[in-house]
Amino acid sequence: MAVNAVLRQRMADLGLTQEELAGRMNAALLDITGRPGDVSDRTVRNLLSGATRRPIGRTRRALEAVFHCPLRDLGFDSPRTMSPPEDPVERRHFIAVGTALALTPATPSHGAPRRLGVSDVERLHRRFAGIIAKDHRHGGRLVIEHRATALAEEALALQEAGTASQRIRKQVYAAAAAFRSSAMWAAIDGRRFDDAARHMHAAQQLAEMAGDPYIKFRIWSHARTMYRHMGRPADALAANDVARKLGITRQDPVFASLGLARQGAIHGAAGDGTAAHRAFQQSQEALLRADPGAPRPVWLNAFYDQAELDSLALTAYLSLRDFERAEAHGHRCLAALRPHMQRSKAIATTRVARAQLEQGEVEAALASAMSISADAATRHPRVVGMLRAFGNRLECVAPGTASARTWTQHTRETWRQPA
């Protein structure tokens, strides 16, 4: 048996141990098929040792999802036949990506290259709006990241499809940057930070070619979130400062408000309560000054409003251990959230539950946590981790109580969480 040196090197490039690769493959299968994976350390050892030369089925799909490349690029023999998608969830994903790749033919079959125009850009914008909608419903899943990446590649393929004015070319580059920034956000939300950084670099290059300050703001704002979740508050603050120094924050108070609110969340994570409180006050003032009818990018209109400001304040005050103020912002957020923002609702509810628990309101905290949908509680990586932390904290605050037993029973029977 020949050792698979290619796979070993790809793992080294990502800093993955055998156990970590198995974990990522299982997470990928959960996202793709809707069912938890059963990849073990032994599976990975067989892949590395050469005992498995031609992975098939779930193993193949998990490997390709983790490394974002076909099997042949990982040192394996290609499968003799391509098995169909495993279940309706995955089948819908493959159909969706196929539809994206059929956006437009690369070149006409006869004659001169086609001329790109406004209709091509509008089709890209409609697909981008679809990505935004999926993110607000689900968030963090590999299928969203992969679809956004495929659409970015299709947007770039348009550049080779024919001639276009400089204005249209810039808009196509901006659309590609927008798709890449959505892939970046999905990776951040799914705690796949290496992948997020890779998408960030690609998005930044495309945004520069587009010369679009709005998408630059989005990318740097996402970078702030990525660094904050990675425990790098100095880098988070620096990234947010880049976004806040763009001219659009002086032109539109909504951009100024978002930048200040995110700055407040960073100060909260860093333990600076005074700076956080000041940032949120300024953010609120800026939002109140904004013209609600002014034209803004679809991605901004889709998520930033009073509810998001309160969500960021909830995050900051939880970090500062000001649990009463955190809970107040949490309730305001939940009351104002738009119905389609299911992911945001689950995250805010989990944080409210934690704030209640830390104030000794065990029954209220339990009711809040148990109200989260099974879909979010078992399939959204960030919510899964937050609820696990809630359960651990509940065991510390109320060990052996009826509340702790109720929570354990709920997670086992209602959500059927994988061990």
Ordered per-residue pLDDT tens for the chain, 419 residues = 578 888 888 787 777 788 878 877 877 776 676 666 778 888 888 898 888 888 888 888 888 888 877 788 788 876 544 333 434 444 344 334 433 333 434 344 444 566 777 777 778 778 777 777 766 566 667 778 888 888 888 888 877 767 778 888 888 889 899 989 989 998 998 888 999 999 999 999 999 999 999 999 999 999 998 998 888 888 999 999 999 999 999 999 999 999 999 999 999 988 999 999 999 999 999 999 999 888 888 888 888 999 999 999 999 999 999 999 999 999 999 999 988 788 889 999 999 999 999 999 999 999 999 999 888 888 777 888 899 999 999 999 999 899 999 999 998 887 654 43
Q: Is residue 191 part of a domain?
A: no
Residue 393, number of CB atoms within 10 A of its CB: 15
Q: Which two tokens stand for residue 99?
A: 């539809």
Residue 114 DSSP SS3 = strand
Q: Is residue 361 part of a domain?
A: no
Q: Is residue 61 part of a domain?
A: yes
Can you give the pLDDT at residue 112? 55
Q: Is residue 70 part of a domain?
A: yes
Span between the terminal Cα atoms of the chain, in Å:
34
Q: What is the CATH number of the domain that holds 55?
A: 1.10.260
Residues 6+ apart with CB under 8 A from 413: none
Residues 6+ apart with CB under 8 A from 284: 257, 309
Can you give the pLDDT at residue 113? 64
Mutual angle of helices 41-49 and 57-67, in 10-degree steps: 80
Can you give the pLDDT at residue 380? 78
Q: Is residue 81 part of a domain?
A: yes
Name the residue range of residue 55's domain.
5-86
Q: Is residue 326 part of a domain?
A: no
Note whether 85 and 91 are within 8 A (CB): yes
Residue 115 DSSP SS3 = strand
CA 324 from centre of chain: 29
Nearest to 131 by CA among 193, 87, 178: 178
CA distance 314 to 307: 10
Q: Following DSSP, what letter does each residue of 104-144 receive, concatenated?
A: S-SS-SSSSPEEP-HHHHHHHHHHHHHHHHHHHHT-S-HHH
H or E stretch covering 405: helix 402-413
Residue 417 DSSP SS3 = coil
Note whether 176 and 131 are within 8 A (CB): no
Residue with tokens 């990776």: 187
Q: Is residue 46 part of a domain?
A: yes
Can you give the pLDDT at residue 419? 39
Q: Is residue 152 part of a domain?
A: no
- State the total domains in the chain: 1
Q: Following DSSP, what letter does each residue of 254-275 receive, concatenated?
A: HHHHHHHHHHHHHHHHTT-HHH
CA distance 287 to 399: 43
